[in-house]
Every structure is written in C-alpha cells, then in structure tokens.
Copies of this chain bind each other. A is one copy, B any other.
C-alpha cells in the first residue's frame, strides 16, 4: 500500500472522554471514530487490524473442522421466545419492530438461530458432530458503554456452536475448540491465559475464558506458576489455610472495642494479627410460601483479611437468590448495627456458613452482637455450634494451589474469548433432536465458543504500548513494515530505492506501506510509532551512499544499518519470525 492512496489520520491529543490507553491510542492513531455512545466507525487503519484478526480466527476455525455460515443481524422474536431469553434478557437485548409491528432482536449472539437451523437441517446421528460459526456484527445495549472497543454496544464477534450426540462428544468438540483458541491467541502474538470459569448450572470443567494479560484488565486471573492450574477469580477454589483446626488455648472474653467496626481496627486495637479476626456478612433470602413471604437470614463468616466471593455464595444450597441484608434487618436479627456482628448469641436464629479457612481457626475474634464489643478467644464447638463449611472467599496471592502443586499467583486480564459447554440448555427448549441408531429422537448436546474480534484490538493495545503509541504484534499489525523514505518527493535516488524495495517486499508477500506522503521525518516517525507498525525501514541519501538502509523494530531503542541488497531478506525473516 502507498500511504498516498490510503487514509491516515492521526491526532496529537485524544478526546477527553477516552478513559483508557487503548481507547485513547486507537482514536489518536485514526483506527476508530466515535459515531454514538458505544458505536464506532472502523477507519481504514483499524479495519486492517480487524481483518487480520478475523483471518487468523477463520483459518484456525476451519482447520479445527468448523464450518462458516452467516446468520442475520435482525432476528425474529419468536425464536428468542422459545428459549425464554426474549423475557429473561433485560434492556441489553436491542428490540425492534418492523412495519407490520412484528418483534425482532438485533442479535447479541445466535444460539436461537443456529439451533433453529440445526433442528431442521440435522436429522440423523450420521450428520453429527457438526460445528458452525460465523463472524458477524453484534449489538448489546450496554447500560454504560465505555472504554472504546472494550465495552462497546456494536461489535464484531466470532461465535461458534457445536452439536453432538452425547456429553462425551460435546466434551470432545469442546476440547477441539479449546485447542483452536490456544492456536488463535498464540498466532495473534499476544500473551494470554486460559482460565476455568464459573459455568453456572452445568457441572464439570464446562467453561473456560481466554484472557489477554494486561495490568489494566478488569478481571483477576488466578494461576499456579508451577502447575497448569488457572481459573478466574469467580471460579478459583480457595483451600483452607490450615489443614486442621488448632486446639483452643483461650477462653471466650467479651472485649470492649469502642468505635472499631472493622476487623483491621479491632486487630490493631487488640494488637492481634488480622488473620485472627473473623468478618461477618449478612445475607437475606426471601421465599414465597403460599402467598406469605418467608424471610431467612444467613451469616457468612470470612477471615478478616479475606473477601467474599459472591458467585461462590450464590452456590451455597439455599442461597441462589440472596441479597445483602439491610441495616434494619441486621438490627432485627442481631440486635446491633453492622460492625459488631458475630455468630455467638444472635437475637433471632440465623444460618451460619463459615469459609473453609474460618472453620479451621481457633481462638478467633468476632463481633459480640453488642455495640462497641467483640469476643476474643472464640472457639468452634465450645462457644458456638459447628457451622456449615464451604469455600466462600476469593483466593489471594500466595494461597496454596488447589491442585497441591504450588502456590497461587494473580494477574490481570481482559476477557476476549469464552468456550462453554451448554449441554441441552437450548436444544431442550427448541426441541433440537436427532435420530439415533435405533431411530429414537435424542436431544443434541451443544457447546458455544465466542471470540470478541473487535475487543481483541483494545486488549492487544492494553498489553502492548509505550509513550509513543501502539506496538502491534506483527501478525495483527495494520501493516507489517513501513518504508520511510527521507525526501521521496525530492531525491531521485531515494525514490528509486524506496520503490524498488517496496516492490521486492510486495513480491515476497510482506504487507508493507510506503510512506510517499512527503511529510517531514519527524512527522512520519511520530505517525508510524503512534500507529504501531512493528518494523520500520528508513531510506536516506546518506545511507544509500554507503549502500545501507536503516532498520528499527518498534521496541528497539536504536536503528540497525542493513546492506541494501540484504534488506528484503532481513525483513522477511523479521516478519515471519
């Protein structure tokens, strides 16, 4: 590509509403342009990156045996009603009426439509397994769109759907997709991590997220550097920090802790480690029973330095629909406002659930259910009954890995892919069956597999930038190489050499852009560093006299002189590395 035939539009400053670095840099580099809240034009420079991402995704999906089709953006409500998602999905599902008043959804995903296709097209076990995917525009009417392409409303997603005869088949299809995703993210040239995710109602290892590692990521990824254990924070198992409960050595003492409502303050006042304190969290569950509302109050206990994992809490039998208790409820059940609560001597009966670590504590400190008082020396069995014991907390750095093979570390990530075993969630509602060998209809077992194509751009930048701009991995850069001639419009020798090298690179299949705009070197360099092209060649008269050109990688601190005759091969090697 010649720059004069392309569209380059860089900005010195990003608009003030851009909050994160990838959003700022994409705007400044002329990759995207805002059209409305969470809706972006992809300018030519940005579209090139999208296409490279799409092509890698497509190649690897095809290699994995998935078959590409294309499902519509505007989808009839009837199918969404069949699965109940028309009602269950809130305002995130963009709804539209046609001229006849019929309801449609603008697709956020396509489970309903693909299941509709498959239930009519697939009749026999002989046609299974099958995996269909498409790369298509999606819309999700986010309550608060922000961060540019990271949380937009209109975006491009690759979504794939596998259909199998049975659970074993589904798991195999899932593994094939998992492996394909590993290849895809490896080919992008991004640091990434696959983590086990919470998979809702379906058991087993039914769901993994793929994250691009970035300090600015919204998600905490838990992993064990000395084993292959990895899970997102929601799903990471927290083990008890002591294997057995220590023997009691203190007696229960109600201790004045005036004005100390937090574990940290209590520990400081009593000169005890925070890890000897217990935090109380009160949840309410309301159940309708024959018209009457039946209220249950639960007390969840965590070690003072631990945090509640809300997903884990929701999995405690009976807590699926919990909410945090109001202050009035706390006073009613415990006789004291928050800050001095505890499991011993509540005003009304509560169900007590202790985190695994709390269950093995002894001589611990907890609220005394009286304003300005805590108990010290509390011990299970003696001072209060044995609790229900579950994993309730977020893991922390240094926790033992649940596989027993080391200690856990935590890093930040940006979710860009998700693979999921759906089972019969959709095939049941939509009656997607096949005939087995005996001619009996059986429900198909489904999996679904998404990659946020446009989101990849934001994530790649969050991982790869410096104060000059973006640093694209070669595989998804808008151009692999930029040729910067010094005086293309003034020097015959420079122009001739630049044109020749450009032709040679094109011939070699290198995706190069020749900056023939006639800009000053400072402007040229600043533009291409901002845009983030990973390899740069400078063609100048001085170098040419010595038969040399200058190469500089986007992360290099200095240029390398490369003999004229070797440059094409040199670059080919860099680009194909």
Contacts of A154 in B (CB 8 A): 72-74
The proximity string for A residues 54-92 relative to B, scoring 1 for CB distances below 8 Å and 0 otherwise, is: 000000000001011111111110000000000000011
Beta-carbon contact of B39 and A74 below 8 Å: yes
Distance A40 CA – B70 CA, assembled complex (angstroms) = 9
Cβ distance A461 to chain B, nearest Cβ, rounded Å: 18
Cβ of A302 within 8 Å of any chain B Cβ, yes or no, is no
The proximity string for A residues 168-192 relative to B, scoring 1 for CB distances below 8 Å and 0 otherwise, is: 0000000000000000000000000
Beta-carbon contact of B65 and A41 below 8 Å: no
Cβ of A250 within 8 Å of any chain B Cβ, yes or no, is no
Cβ of A464 within 8 Å of any chain B Cβ, yes or no, is no
Beta-carbon contact of A41 and B99 below 8 Å: no
Which A28-60 residues sit within 8 Å CB-CB of chain B? 33, 35-36, 39-44, 47, 50
Contacts of A141 in B (CB 8 A): 98-99
Beta-carbon contact of A143 and B47 below 8 Å: no
Beta-carbon contact of B153 and A74 below 8 Å: yes
Cβ of A324 within 8 Å of any chain B Cβ, yes or no, is no
Contacts of A104 in B (CB 8 A): 36
Cβ of A116 within 8 Å of any chain B Cβ, yes or no, is yes
**Known A-B contacts A40-B72, A99-B91, A154-B73; A67 and B5 likewise in contact (beta carbons under 8 Å):** yes
**Interface pairs (14), CB distance under 8 Å:** A6-B67, A7-B67, A7-B121, A9-B121, A33-B120, A39-B74, A41-B69, A41-B113, A73-B106, A74-B139, A74-B153, A74-B154, A92-B99, A99-B141
Distance A94 CA – B116 CA, assembled complex (angstroms) = 24
Name A6's closest neighbour in chain B (CB-CB): B67
Beta-carbon contact of A35 and B72 below 8 Å: yes
Beta-carbon contact of B94 and A41 below 8 Å: no
**Known A-B contacts A7-B130, A76-B36; A94 and B96 likewise in contact (beta carbons under 8 Å):** yes
Name A92's closest neighbour in chain B (CB-CB): B99
Beta-carbon contact of B99 and A143 below 8 Å: yes
Distance A141 CA – B154 CA, assembled complex (angstroms) = 21
Distance A68 CA – B136 CA, assembled complex (angstroms) = 17
Beta-carbon contact of B7 and A72 below 8 Å: no
Cβ of A411 within 8 Å of any chain B Cβ, yes or no, is no
Distance A136 CA – B136 CA, assembled complex (angstroms) = 10
The proximity string for A residues 89-119 relative to B, scoring 1 for CB distances below 8 Å and 0 otherwise, is: 0011011101100001010000001001100
Distance A47 CA – B117 CA, assembled complex (angstroms) = 15
Residue of B71, B74, B120 near A106 (CB, 8 A) is: B74
Beta-carbon contact of A44 and B73 below 8 Å: no
Cβ of A298 within 8 Å of any chain B Cβ, yes or no, is no
Cβ distance A260 to chain B, nearest Cβ, rounded Å: 44
Distance A141 CA – B96 CA, assembled complex (angstroms) = 12
Residue of B41, B95, B96, B121 near A33 (CB, 8 A) is: B121
Name A36's closest neighbour in chain B (CB-CB): B76
Name A137's closest neighbour in chain B (CB-CB): B73
Cβ of A132 within 8 Å of any chain B Cβ, yes or no, is yes
Which of A39, A50, A98, A121 has the most chain B CB atoms closer than 10 A to its own CB?
A98
Contacts of A69 in B (CB 8 A): 7, 41-44, 47
**Known A-B contacts A99-B141, A132-B7; A47 and B74 likewise in contact (beta carbons under 8 Å):** no
Distance A139 CA – B5 CA, assembled complex (angstroms) = 31
Name A58's closest neighbour in chain B (CB-CB): B51
Cβ distance A80 to chain B, nearest Cβ, rounded Å: 12
Contacts of A68 in B (CB 8 A): 44, 47
Beta-carbon contact of A106 and B117 below 8 Å: no
Distance A60 CA – B96 CA, assembled complex (angstroms) = 36
Distance A40 CA – B130 CA, assembled complex (angstroms) = 20
Residue of B44, B94, B113, B143 near A35 (CB, 8 A) is: B113
Contacts of A5 in B (CB 8 A): 65, 67
A sample of 6 more A-B contacts (CB under 8 A), given A47-B70, A74-B153, is: A5-B67, A7-B130, A44-B67, A44-B68, A72-B137, A106-B106
Beta-carbon contact of B99 and A74 below 8 Å: no
Distance A65 CA – B43 CA, assembled complex (angstroms) = 16
Beta-carbon contact of A39 and B106 below 8 Å: no
**Known A-B contacts A39-B76, A121-B9; A70 and B50 likewise in contact (beta carbons under 8 Å):** yes
Contacts of A95 in B (CB 8 A): 96
Name A454's closest neighbour in chain B (CB-CB): B70
Residue of B98, B113, B120, B136 near A94 (CB, 8 A) is: B98
Beta-carbon contact of B44 and A76 below 8 Å: no
Cβ distance A347 to chain B, nearest Cβ, rounded Å: 43
Distance A76 CA – B154 CA, assembled complex (angstroms) = 12
Residue of B35, B65, B70, B113 near A71 (CB, 8 A) is: B35
Cβ distance A554 to chain B, nearest Cβ, rounded Å: 24
**Known A-B contacts A35-B72, A44-B67, A75-B35; A96 and B106 likewise in contact (beta carbons under 8 Å):** yes
Distance A139 CA – B9 CA, assembled complex (angstroms) = 30
Name A73's closest neighbour in chain B (CB-CB): B137
Distance A177 CA – B136 CA, assembled complex (angstroms) = 28
Cβ distance A345 to chain B, nearest Cβ, rounded Å: 47
